[in-house]
């Protein structure tokens, strides 16, 4: 039987054209991509396309659109061997992270790609990225997909989606996964690192609810008490991302610790992530983090910011009991984090 791949086109630079000669780039329809990619005909695959009627710059991406995307995948899950999602690079890591939590127990490849230069430009990276993403989505071993998770295929690497962030606005290797090795190297050969690939024995059980009542506080030298007002009880968030220094440290300012305690005690779950892209939060390492641990603020370990915020939305959206929420946030749900409890 012919293998079937579904391409879902959401927008992004890959399909963009100039609004007028020399003008800003705007998203264009999928025909613009096909026109520049006669190679699509050469695959020994049946390729279908589901294109957004109004493709977007991924800066316009919203959680409702993640839900639409996930629904498209759920509805066509049994009909396709794999999926390729064409997406703008700006928020690709957020969407890939969100889908990794929403599509629990996935057994098929969901490969995100896009480009830094539009497909119509002579030096575009879009052609190679899209062709490689399709090849990866169709790769099999013993008739099963090699990739059974959400991944980003960009430049010379295939990376786990919820471990990835966009680190370059201009380079062709735009994404990095600082705390997890690439799933595959893209060169003359596609070299998969089989030992690193996600395998999930649980059944495919999508959980599409999201709670977006979430705040974000970044610690900086000179931070003042006003920064906390936004998160206090008259405007309560269900979740708060606390972006701290190094291994999860904050300055020892009494009003800050007290304010965070107040926010926590009012029912806001606080997740501590590091401003460093590499390494892990460990709230037991320094005194400047220990108080957070003692206050019940949760460690985000080595989560990327993108994975942290989407995991929080996912967990808060699907569970209402605070204890269950905390337990879920401390668990590795989709290969997104490494828990190092024994680190001292």
Applying CB under 6 A, the residues found at the interface with ligand ASP are 11-13, 57-59, 88-90, 114, 116
d(CA 41, CA 46): 9
d(CA 94, CA 90): 9
Check residue 257 and report its DSSP letter. Answer: H
307 close to 335: Cβ distance less than 8 angstroms: no
Identify the active-site residue in 13, 124, 304, 310. Answer: 13
Q: Is 277 a catalytic residue?
A: no
Nearest distance from C-beta of residue 198 to ligand ASP, angstroms = 25
Nearest distance from C-beta of residue 126 to ligand ASP, angstroms = 9
* Maximal CA-CA distance, the chain: 67
Residues 6 or more apart whose CB falls under 8 angstroms from that of 235 comprise: none
Residue closer to ligand ASP (CB basis): 9 or 301: 9
CA trace torsion 321, 326, 328, 329 (10° rounding): 140
Residue closer to ligand ASP (CB basis): 33 or 256: 33
Residue closer to ligand ASP (CB basis): 87 or 163: 87
Nearest distance from C-beta of residue 56 to ligand ASP, angstroms = 7
> Which residue's Cβ has the minimum distance to ligand ASP?
88
Nearest distance from C-beta of residue 268 to ligand ASP, angstroms = 30
Residue closer to ligand ASP (CB basis): 61 or 260: 61
Nearest distance from C-beta of residue 197 to ligand ASP, angstroms = 26
Residues 6 or more apart whose CB falls under 8 angstroms from that of 158 comprise: 111, 136, 147, 151, 152, 182, 183, 184, 185, 186, 190, 192
Using alpha carbons, select from 195, 217, 233 the residue that is nearest to residue 275: 217
Residues 6 or more apart whose CB falls under 8 angstroms from that of 117 comprise: 13, 123, 124, 125, 126
Residue closer to ligand ASP (CB basis): 11 or 259: 11
d(CA 271, CA 328): 12
- Report, as residue numbers or ranges, the catalytic residues: 13
């Amino acid at each position: 039987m012919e293998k079937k791949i579904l391409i879902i086109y959401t927008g992004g630079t890959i399909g963009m054209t100039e609004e007028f000669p020399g003008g800003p780039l705007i998203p264009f329809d999928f025909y613009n991509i096909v026109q520049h990619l006669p190679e699509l005909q050469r695959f020994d695959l049946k390729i279908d396309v589901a294109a957004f009627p109004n493709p977007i710059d991924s800066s316009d991406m919203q959680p409702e659109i993640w839900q639409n995307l996930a629904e498209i995948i759920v509805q066509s899950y049994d009909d396709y061997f794999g999926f390729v999602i064409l997406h703008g690079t700006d928020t690709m890591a957020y969407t890939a992270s969100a889908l990794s939590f929403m599509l629990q127990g996935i057994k098929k490849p969901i490969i995100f790609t896009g480009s830094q230069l539009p497909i119509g430009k002579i030096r575009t990276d879009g052609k190679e990225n899209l062709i490689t993403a399709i090849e990866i989505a169709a790769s099999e071993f013993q008739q099963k997909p090699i990739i059974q998770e959400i991944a980003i295929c960009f430049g010379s690497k295939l990376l786990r989606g919820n471990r990835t962030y966009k680190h370059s606005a201009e380079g062709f290797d735009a994404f990095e996964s600082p705390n997890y090795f690439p799933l595959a190297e893209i060169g003359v050969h596609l070299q998969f690192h089989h030992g690193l690939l996600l395998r999930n024995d649980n059944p495919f059980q999508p959980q599409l609810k999201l709670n977006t009542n979430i705040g974000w506080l970044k610690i900086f030298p000179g931070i003042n008490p006003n920064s906390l007002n936004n998160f206090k009880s008259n405007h309560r968030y269900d979740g708060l991302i606390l972006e701290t220094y190094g291994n999860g440290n904050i300055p020892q300012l009494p009003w800050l610790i007290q304010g965070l305690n107040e926010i926590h005690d009012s029912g806001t779950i606080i997740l501590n992530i590091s401003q460093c892209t590499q390494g892990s939060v460990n709230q037991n390492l320094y005194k400047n983090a220990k108080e957070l641990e003692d206050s019940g603020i949760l460690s985000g370990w080595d989560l990327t910011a993108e994975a942290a915020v989407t995991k929080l939305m996912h967990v808060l959206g699907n569970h209402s009991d605070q204890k269950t929420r905390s337990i879920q946030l401390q668990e590795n749900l989709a290969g997104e984090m490494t828990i190092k409890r024994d680190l001292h």
